[in-house]
A = this chain, B = another copy of it.
């Protein structure tokens, strides 16, 4: 964690550099600090983006676009840190979607969920040790 999934209408593909957005979101999350300490573990940070070929938005009368960014985090962060992290991702999205907003009707939503309904959690990783040196 954090586990970021970006789900979006495929009509955004030519308008937004999704790989750059993924990269900057990961970098932004890794850079979050609380009293000088990292808020999220670098080795557990990942962003995955999925265009949907089949989609429908609003009243479906135009080729509207939508992007939904969901961030799943583990428990343990303060409310202030959650808001700061969310606001940082929102600022990034606003930058990356500026051109798309100039060309048509777009909705972007960012939500952070804290371990929803979680009853089991296991990790198998050689990424974490890389950043715990």
Contact = CB atoms under 8 A, between A and B. Distances in A.
- Could you say how many copies of this chain the assembly holds? 3
Interface in A5-39: 5-9, 18-19, 21-23, 25-27, 30
Contacts of A112: 118-121
A43 B58 CA distance: 5
A127 to B, nearest CB: 4
Contact of A116 (B7, B23, B110, B116): B116
A67 to B, nearest CB: 9
B109 A26 contact: no
A101 B117 CA distance: 29
Given A43-B107, A68-B3, A120 B57 contact: no
Interface string A81-109: 01101110010011001000100011111
Q: Nearest 8 pairs between A and B by C-beta?
A: A116-B117, A112-B120, A48-B52, A116-B116, A49-B54, A86-B120, A26-B56, A113-B117
Given A27-B59, A58-B130, A113-B118, 5 more contacts: A46-B58, A49-B53, A105-B126, A107-B123, A111-B122
